[in-house]
Structure 1
């Protein structure tokens, strides 16, 4: 178990460190352009290639999508209750408590922990989280519901294409699979480099709310995962994947929207840094629990 955990954690830590050092250096890493490339090109390509080429059953996609929605709903409910009890700013801190970094950190983890099967399940989970982040999450900061944003998300069309290919039993041309495989292959390492670079630039301006949000995200994430696994009667790799992805730290995208709509952006940035550091410190335990839940591979 120990060697397996090291094999999972070491590559992630090394690549994140590379991104952190590049962010601190004068290399001029253009994180905004890379983020757009990952969101608009690499992620939809990886989703389409993984789900279409490996012919992941529609039922599996639906089950993992439902698990993601359940985890987010539970996390949102717990986060809202905590903020109302402690009189926190809902529009500033609900997204950081509710929305995990299932992409930058979560997908590499499930891939290294559970291989291709984990990646397939993880992608079916992650695309729901991503769509919610860029629609409902943004709407919380904006103060108005912006469901029309979904129509502009390439992720949405990638999943729709997978569904169409699966239901119609269409054979995807080799050139399309090869292209999407090449484009999707850059997503995971680029996400980790972006995570490191982003952490190198975010600052902690107020430690108290940062610590509160960081611990809250970890507790809420683990609680939502365990509840979903219990209610949906998950086991094996599926249960381990849900546990890992739901337990991830606060998503960096929350800072982007907090900054755009000016809802405590510096405090949100601090919560992301502390939440990520806290999760890294707890990763051995989180990975151990995920592997134990999944059972022998």
Structure 2
């Protein structure tokens, strides 16, 4: 009973905030998605990342081992889903990207923070950074036939991660007034990301729901198993293992839909996977948490 209450205390704030964003739009209220997303991704999230890395008490060797595990996890997911897409004869441009890439930002960061505290947030930020770099290169290549290394250079989250890693490595700290300012800005990130997730899901028009259901279910199972397998191979501790499994098993990222829409893939099918996998996560993520805690 205590475990159930603990899991509910972790996931309830995450889905309630997303639900508020969903309801807000359904009631007809204005929500400037482009503005809020830009505010979060160019200011709030980079501040959150930088301060969290600078102040983390996680051993640098442990972070390095976790980063290697994250790379191995994405590599394994890529190989497995390439094989599955070929066997099932699915269109690669449409389905491979949403199967590989998960919502490590909007849903992953707050979930790992509430489940594992500041230590979990530190590991989750590493996974977010890996996901951003991989999705802007291989992820875009899958849909558009070309990568976008220049976009990585322009991405504030990448620079915040690099700067935070340097400060962590050197043991530096910014002046207290600046740290407090960035910390305050960073506190906007998680509420904004969760509200925006709900808004984005509310505005999507899903199709092929049955296909989206079984693909989403398969994604959750495969990602969780690979997360556990890779975590065991790298001998990760309980917190690092939990973050790896949760981050890989989060729902399909909304960015997969945006890329499909932009580059002419089957965007409606991807929208179906985003909506269905997000709804399924209401039950799948608590189950995973119950197994991890």
The answer to whether 1:252 aligns with 2:254 is yes
Q: Per the alignment, do residues 165 and 284 of structure 1 end up closer, same or farther by CA in structure 2, a change over 3 Å counting?
A: closer
Match of 1:43 in 2: 45
Match of 1:153 in 2: 155
**Secondary structure in 2 matching 1:26:** coil
Q: Which moved more, 1:23-32 or 1:88-97?
A: 23-32
How far apart, CA to CA, are the structure 2 residues paired with 1:54 and 1:72?
Answer: 24
Aligned match for 1:226, one of 228, 235, 255: 228
Match of 1:201 in 2: 203
Match of 2:285 in 1: 283
Which runs of 5 or more structure 1 residues have no equivalent in the other structure? 292-297
Whether the 8 Å contact between 1:131 and 1:155 is mirrored in structure 2 is: no
Whether the 8 Å contact between 1:101 and 1:251 is mirrored in structure 2 is: yes
1:1-297 counterparts in 2 under 5 A? 1-54=3-56, 56-291=58-293
Whether the 8 Å contact between 1:97 and 1:216 is mirrored in structure 2 is: no
How far apart, CA to CA, are the structure 1 residues paired with 2:214 and 2:267?
Answer: 16
Q: Please, what TM-score do these two structures have when normalized by structure 1? A: 0.93
How far apart, CA to CA, are the structure 2 residues paired with 1:220 and 1:148?
Answer: 32
Q: Which moved more, 1:159-168 or 1:90-99?
A: 159-168
Match of 1:294 in 2: none
1:210-260 deviation digits (Å, cap 9, x = unpaired): 123212221221122011111111132111111111111111110111100
Q: Which moved more, 1:163-172 or 1:249-258?
A: 163-172
How far apart, CA to CA, are the structure 1 residues paired with 2:172 and 2:198?
Answer: 40
How far apart, CA to CA, are the structure 2 residues paired with 1:236 and 1:84?
Answer: 35
Aligned residues: 291
How far apart, CA to CA, are the structure 1 residues paired with 2:72 and 2:162?
Answer: 21
Whether the 8 Å contact between 1:250 and 1:276 is mirrored in structure 2 is: yes
Give 1:118 shift: 1.2
Whether the 8 Å contact between 2:54 and 2:172 is mirrored in structure 1 is: no
Give 1:56 shift: 4.3
**Secondary structure in 1 matching 2:229:** helix
Give 1:284 shift: 2.3
- Across the aligned residues of Structure 1 and Structure 2, the Cα RMSD in angstroms comes to 1.5
Whether the 8 Å contact between 1:244 and 1:290 is mirrored in structure 2 is: no
